[in-house]
């Protein structure tokens, strides 16, 4: 058995005391008013007047429009990147298919392979070189 564990168990004689939270004081009407009055102070007490807010409205609308354009541009860029990746994968697959078909065609067009395929039709490979036919102009 672990001797350090025995020492810890010996020290724990009684139950641990529970911690109690301090009672909360209810908010007074002034404190509630202060928390809600920040926005009203902002517009009513002169920090931002109604005239200043209406004057800044076109600028805020322009900023909102720029934000929407920025978000739309990022979505368009992400879609383009996804489409480019998809097309790159498709090009790679088509390139692999092209190379395999080309290798297969080169193999099948060898003289020995063609001779094997044509042998079933009864056509034999020429042993002597072909003869050249010469037609004289006065004969024809």
Which is more confident, 32 or 91? 91
**Can you give the pLDDT at residue 125?**
82
Which is more confident, 10 or 96? 96
Which is more confident, 13 or 79? 79
Q: State the pLDDT confidence band at 104, using cuts at 50, 70 and 90.
A: very high
Q: In this structure, are residues 8 and 1 in contact, taking their beta carbons and an 8 Å threshold?
A: no
pTM across the whole model: 0.47
Which is more confident, 90 or 50? 90
**Can you give the pLDDT at residue 115?**
86
Please give the average per-residue pLDDT across 41-63, as a whole number: 79
Cα–Cα distance for residue pair 61/72, rounded to 1 Å:
16
């Amino acid at each position: 058995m672990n001797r350090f564990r025995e020492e810890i168990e010996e020290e724990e004689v009684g139950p641990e005391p529970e911690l109690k939270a301090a009672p909360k004081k209810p908010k007074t009407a002034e404190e509630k008013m202060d928390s809600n009055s920040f926005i009203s102070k902002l517009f009513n007490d002169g920090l931002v007047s109604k005239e200043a807010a209406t004057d800044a409205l076109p600028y805020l609308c322009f900023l909102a429009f720029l934000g929407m354009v920025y978000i739309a541009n990022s979505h368009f860029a992400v879609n383009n990147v996804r489409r480019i990746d998809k097309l790159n994968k498709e090009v790679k697959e088509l390139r692999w298919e092209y190379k395999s078909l080309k290798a297969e065609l080169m193999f099948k067009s060898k003289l020995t392979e063609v001779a094997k395929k044509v042998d079933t039709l009864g056509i034999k490979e020429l042993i002597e070189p072909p003869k050249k036919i010469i037609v004289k102009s006065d004969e024809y």
